[in-house]
Each structure stands twice: as structure tokens, then as C-alpha cells.
Amino acid sequence: MAIYHSQYFEEARQQLVDSVPGTMGYTPIPFHAVGDDIRLDRAFLRFDWRAPEMFKQALATAMAGDAQFDRIGFLTRSELLLGQAALDYNGHFTLPTTELRAAIQKLTGEPVVLAGVAADLVLPFGLQDLRHVVHLTKWTYENHTLYHLVAGLPALEVKVDALRNAGVYRNEAKVLHSETELDGTALMAFMQDLIRDYFGVETANLRTMQAAFGAAKPNDDAASNRVLIADFEN
């Protein structure tokens, strides 16, 4: 499995990456939620079909051997021991959506419907540590689609490189010029690639609504703690 080393930024970020436990190294695993996975107040993420085979096999074994283990894990707390990584399906891979929906509706001024969630998550943290998360929620309203991005900078670097190295994506520029500076053109190209990767759709008319940096942990100004939060409309 790939071990990630930061190309762009400070030593503290690489130290953060190196501190991630488990035998997978810094390897984000794709997850998604669609259809019945999305409930009124939360979305239950499941392994994407592109997840490494060892994870899919372990999940299938747990489902077959435990009558209390739900296919997307919201009935009971279950752990899969994969190397040193333990998955808690009730917490680490459940995305609360009530506050997020309210924020999106405030932005659009219209009622919105959550149509899909896709993410790259680093085990064993899942959604619990936003420094190691790239997740994109897809919202629909009237004749528009809004995409809400949350991306920790360490995880964002990995996803940018992964799409660039896939060979079929358009983005070749650096999305991040510095720890606090984005290239708007490269970010738009990356987002179009990311939406195509996650949801399989083209977004030729995509526009940026807003983008800002937040912090995964309060009162920590390190670049390794920064989270990009952005909204795009198509």
C-alpha cells in the first residue's frame, strides 16, 4: 500500500501523517452513501466498490457471520480488525446532516435534498478527524445542484495527486500554492475531476460559491490542522 509523503508543506504535516496507526499507511479508502443509506438526519457511508479487496472481503465476512451486523452498520456497533485498524460503523462512518442541511439551505435560500455522499477516509479515523477526510455531499434544489466539499489539507494533497496520477483527469496544476493560498482555476478543475470520480457526472457549468479554510481542532494554526470548506453550484 502507498505511504504518503507531503510534497508541499511543513514538517508538522508529515509528522501528523506518519502518526496514523495501522498497516495501510496513509491510504484513503473510498466510501459512499446513496438511496436508503441517506436518512433524514444522517447518512451511513459504506465501502465504495473501488475499496481494496481485503476490506470488502472483511466486511462481507462480518455480515455473513453476525446477524446483528447491518450492511451499513447502523444497528449495532461492530468492529472489523484489519491489521491494526478497527472500524466503528456507528460513529466513524456516519455523517450527521441536520446542521449541514440547515447551513446549505441558508446558503441557497431554498429547501434542499441530499442526493449523495462520497468520501475518501483514512482508517481508523473515518469521519472523526477532518484532517484525514475528503468528503463531498451533493444537494439538489429547484433546477440546481450544489456540491459541498470538506477536505483536510493532508487528505486533500493525496486526493489531488490520486486524480492527477489516474491519467484520465484534467487537473495538472497545484491546487494549493501555499498553506493558505488556493489556485482558483486549479481548484475548479480539481472539483470537476472529483465530481466525475465520485458521482460519474460532468459539470461544465460549475461555479464556486464560497471557499474558506477552517480548523479541525480549535486554537491550532498549523497547516496540518487546516480544513478546506467550499461550495460549488452547477
Residue 90, pLDDT score:
52
Tally helices (H) and strands (E) across the chain: 5, 11
pLDDT of residue 76: 30
Question: Is residue 219 left, alpha or beta, with left meaning phi > 0 and alpha meaning psi from -120 to 50?
Answer: left
Task: Report the C-alpha gap between 169 and 206 in whole angstroms.
Answer: 16
Q: What is the pLDDT, as a whole number, of residue 191?
A: 95
Alpha helices for the chain (secondary structure H): 11-18, 53-65, 98-108, 153-165, 184-199
Max distance between CA atoms of the chain, in angstroms, equals 50
pLDDT beneath 70, residues of the chain: 1-3, 22-24, 49-60, 62-63, 66-91, 124
What integer pLDDT is reported at residue 120 of this predicted model?
93
